[in-house]
Structure 1
Amino acid sequence: MTDQKKIAILQVTHLRGPNIWTYRPVIEAWLDIGQLEDYPSNTIDGFYERLTGFLPSLVEHHCSPGVRGGFLQRVKEGTYAAHIVEHVTLELQNLAGMRTGFGKARQTSKRGVYKVAFRTRQEQVGRDALVAGRDLVEAAINNTPYDVAAVVAQLREKVDDLCLGPSTAHIVDAATERRIPSIRLTEGNLVQLGYGINQRRIWTAETDQTSAIAEEIASDKDLTKALLKSCGVPVPEGQLVRSAEAAWEAAQDIGVPVVLKPYDGNHGRGVSLNLVTQSDVEAAYALAHRKGGGSSVIVEKYIPGTEHRALVVGRQVVAVARGETLWVVGDGVSTIDQLADTQINTDPRRGTGEEFPLNVIIPSETGEVILELERAGLTPQSVPAKDARVLIQSNGNVAFDITDQVHPSVIAAAALAARVVGLDIAGVDMVLEDATKPLHTQRAAVIEVNASPGLLAHIKPAEGQGRPVGKAIIEHLFGMDRDGRIPIVGITGTQKTGRIARMVAWLAHISGKHVGLACSEGLYLDGRQVDAKDCARWEPGQRLLINRSVQAAVFENGSQTILAEGLAYDKCSVGVVTDVSWHESLVPFDILDAEQAYKVARTQVDVILPTGTAVLNAADPQVVEMAELCDGKVIFYGMDGTSAVLSQHRAAGERVVFVRDDQIVLAHGAQDIALLPLASLKPAKASQPEMVMAAVAAAWALNIPPELIGAGLRTFESNPKKTPY
Structure 2
Amino acid sequence: MTVIDIPQAPGPIEPSLRIVSTRVYRGPNVWSYDPAIHLVVDLGVLEYYPTHAIPGFADRLVELFPGLQHHSCSRGKEGGFVERLHEGTWLGHVAEHLALQLQQEAGHDVRRGKTRGVKGEEGRYNVVYAYLEESVGIAAGQLAVRIVNHVVHPEDGFDVEAALETFHALVQRRAFGPSTQAIIDEAVSRDIPWTRLNGASLVQLGQGVHAQRIRATMTSRTSALAVDIACDKSLTLDLLGSAGLPVPKSEVVRTREGAIQAAREIGFPVVVKPLDGNHGRGVCLDLTDDEAVSEAYDIAMAQSRRGVLQVESFVTGKDYRCLIIDGRMAAIAERVPAHVVGDGEHTVDELIELTNADPRRGYGHEKVLTKIKVDDAARELVADQGYAMDAVVPEGETVKLALTGNMSTGGISIDRTMDAHPDNVEIAEEAARLIGLDVAGIDFICPDITVPVRETGGAICEVNAAPGFRMHTHPTVGEPQFIAKPVVDLLFPPGSPSRVPIVAVTGTNGKTTTSRMLAHIMKGLGKKVGMTSTDGIVIDERLLITRDASGPKSAKMVLQNPRVDFAVLEVARGGILREGLGYDRNDIAVVTNIQSDHLGMRGINSLEDLANVKQVIVEAVPRDGFAVLNADDEYVRRMRRVCRGTIVWFSMEAPGSRVRQFIDERCVRGDRAVVLEPTDKGEMIVLKQGRRSMQLAWTHLLPSTFNGAARMNVANALAAAGAAFAAGAPLHDIRQGLRTFTTSYYLSPGRLNRIEVDHAEVFVDYCHNPAGLQLLGEFVDRYVAGKNKSTRVQRIVVGAAGDRRDQDIREMGELAAKWFDHVIIREDDNLRRRAPGETAALVAEGAQQAIDSGEARAASVETVLDELEATQVAIDSARAGDLVVICADKHARVMAALEDLTHLATPGAHADEAAHPGDPDFSRDAVFESPEDDVIDELLPNS
TM-score w.r.t. structure 1 length? 0.93
Query: Is 2:392 the partner of 1:392?
Result: no
Aligned partners of 1:58 and 1:91 also within 8 Å: yes
Query: Is 2:34 the partner of 1:24?
Result: yes
Deviation of 1:227 (Å): 1.6
TM-superposition CA deviations, 1:200-236 (whole Å, max 9, x none): 1111111111111000110111111122223333222
Q: Helix, strand or coil for the counterpart of 2:77?
A: coil
The correspondence for 2:528, drawn from 495, 510, 514, is: 514
The correspondence for 1:86, drawn from 96, 103, 107, is: 96
The AA in structure 1 aligned to 2:133 is Q
In the other structure, the counterpart of 1:605 is 618
In the other structure, the counterpart of 2:432 is 418
| Larger displacement relative to structure 2 (694-703 or 617-626) | 617-626
Aligned partners of 1:205 and 1:454 also within 8 Å: yes
In the other structure, the counterpart of 1:283 is 295
In the other structure, the counterpart of 2:172 is 160
Aligned partners of 1:174 and 1:474 also within 8 Å: yes
Superposed counterparts of 1:447-462, under 5 Å: 447-462=461-476
The AA in structure 2 aligned to 1:596 is D
In the other structure, the counterpart of 1:657 is 674
Query: Is 2:724 the partner of 1:682?
Result: no
The correspondence for 2:499, drawn from 473, 477, 485, is: 485
Structure 2 CA distance, aligned partners of 1:588 and 1:23? 23
In the other structure, the counterpart of 2:732 is 707
The correspondence for 1:318, drawn from 330, 339, 353, is: 330
TM-superposition CA deviations, 1:408-460 (whole Å, max 9, x none): 33333222221111111111111132233344442232111111112222233
The AA in structure 2 aligned to 1:478 is F
Structure 1 CA distance, aligned partners of 2:252 and 2:205? 41
Q: Helix, strand or coil for the counterpart of 1:674?
A: strand
The correspondence for 1:631, drawn from 644, 650, 660, is: 644
Q: How many residues align?
A: 720
Q: Helix, strand or coil for the counterpart of 2:582?
A: coil
Query: Is 2:352 the partner of 1:341?
Result: yes
Q: Helix, strand or coil for the counterpart of 1:197?
A: helix
Query: Is 2:106 the partner of 1:96?
Result: yes
Aligned partners of 2:591 and 2:629 also within 8 Å: yes
Structure 1 442/695 Cα, relative in aligned 2: closer, same or farther at 3 Å?
same
Superposed counterparts of 1:544-623, under 5 Å: 544-581=558-595, 583=597, 585-623=598-636
The AA in structure 1 aligned to 2:367 is F
Deviation of 1:615 (Å): 0.8
Structure 1 CA distance, aligned partners of 2:468 and 2:185? 17
Which protein is bigger by CA-based radius of gyration? 2
The higher relative CO (CA closer than 8 Å, separation ≥ 6) is in: 1
The AA in structure 2 aligned to 1:318 is A
Aligned partners of 2:382 and 2:389 also within 8 Å: no
Structure 2 CA distance, aligned partners of 1:179 and 1:389? 47
The AA in structure 1 aligned to 2:517 is M
Deviation of 1:321 (Å): 1.7
The AA in structure 1 aligned to 2:17 is I
CA RMSD, 1 decimal: 2.7
Structure 1 695/291 Cα, relative in aligned 2: closer, same or farther at 3 Å?
same
Aligned partners of 1:260 and 1:281 also within 8 Å: yes
The correspondence for 1:696, drawn from 711, 721, 727, is: 721
Aligned partners of 2:440 and 2:464 also within 8 Å: yes
TM-superposition CA deviations, 1:357-385 (whole Å, max 9, x none): 3333333x253x3553465577x667478
Structure 1 311/21 Cα, relative in aligned 2: closer, same or farther at 3 Å?
farther
Structure 1 529/349 Cα, relative in aligned 2: closer, same or farther at 3 Å?
closer
TM-score w.r.t. structure 2 length? 0.72
Structure 2 CA distance, aligned partners of 1:72 and 1:467? 40
Aligned partners of 1:261 and 1:288 also within 8 Å: yes
Aligned partners of 1:529 and 1:721 also within 8 Å: no
Aligned partners of 1:506 and 1:526 also within 8 Å: no
The correspondence for 1:498, drawn from 497, 512, 530, is: 512
In the other structure, the counterpart of 2:255 is 243
Structure 2 CA distance, aligned partners of 1:592 and 1:87? 30
Query: Is 2:126 the partner of 1:115?
Result: yes
Aligned partners of 1:96 and 1:152 also within 8 Å: no
Query: Is 2:743 the partner of 1:718?
Result: yes
The AA in structure 2 aligned to 1:14 is V
Q: Helix, strand or coil for the counterpart of 2:240?
A: helix
In the other structure, the counterpart of 1:372 is 381
Aligned partners of 1:86 and 1:105 also within 8 Å: yes
TM-superposition CA deviations, 1:297-337 (whole Å, max 9, x none): 2222222211111222212322222111444567999875x
In the other structure, the counterpart of 1:357 is 368
Q: Helix, strand or coil for the counterpart of 1:656?
A: strand
The correspondence for 1:147, drawn from 154, 159, 174, is: 159
Aligned partners of 1:85 and 1:133 also within 8 Å: yes
Query: Is 2:492 the partner of 1:467?
Result: no
Deviation of 1:572 (Å): 1.5
Aligned partners of 1:574 and 1:614 also within 8 Å: yes
Q: Helix, strand or coil for the counterpart of 1:229?
A: helix
Q: Helix, strand or coil for the counterpart of 1:150?
A: helix
The AA in structure 1 aligned to 2:613 is V
| Larger displacement relative to structure 2 (71-80 or 701-710) | 71-80
The AA in structure 2 aligned to 1:298 is Q
The AA in structure 2 aligned to 1:226 is D
Structure 1 CA distance, aligned partners of 2:342 and 2:132? 47
Deviation of 1:602 (Å): 2.1
Structure 2 CA distance, aligned partners of 1:384 and 1:85? 50
Structure 2 CA distance, aligned partners of 1:329 and 1:695? 72
Deviation of 1:70 (Å): 2.4
Q: Helix, strand or coil for the counterpart of 1:405?
A: coil
Deviation of 1:589 (Å): 3.0
Query: Is 2:418 the partner of 1:408?
Result: no
TM-superposition CA deviations, 1:90-123 (whole Å, max 9, x none): 1112223444222111112122211111122333
| Larger displacement relative to structure 2 (117-126 or 220-229) | 117-126
The AA in structure 2 aligned to 1:649 is R
Query: Is 2:197 the partner of 1:176?
Result: no
The AA in structure 2 aligned to 1:399 is S
Q: Helix, strand or coil for the counterpart of 1:403?
A: coil
Superposed counterparts of 1:286-301, under 5 Å: 286-293=298-305, 295-301=307-313
The AA in structure 2 aligned to 1:636 is W
Deviation of 1:391 (Å): 3.4
Aligned partners of 1:190 and 1:204 also within 8 Å: yes
Unaligned ranges ≥5, structure 1: none
Unaligned ranges ≥5, structure 2: 1-10, 406-410, 750-920, 922-943
In the other structure, the counterpart of 2:803 is none
The AA in structure 2 aligned to 1:608 is V
Structure 2 CA distance, aligned partners of 1:383 and 1:720? 86
Aligned partners of 1:125 and 1:159 also within 8 Å: yes
Structure 1 403/188 Cα, relative in aligned 2: closer, same or farther at 3 Å?
same
Structure 1 270/609 Cα, relative in aligned 2: closer, same or farther at 3 Å?
same
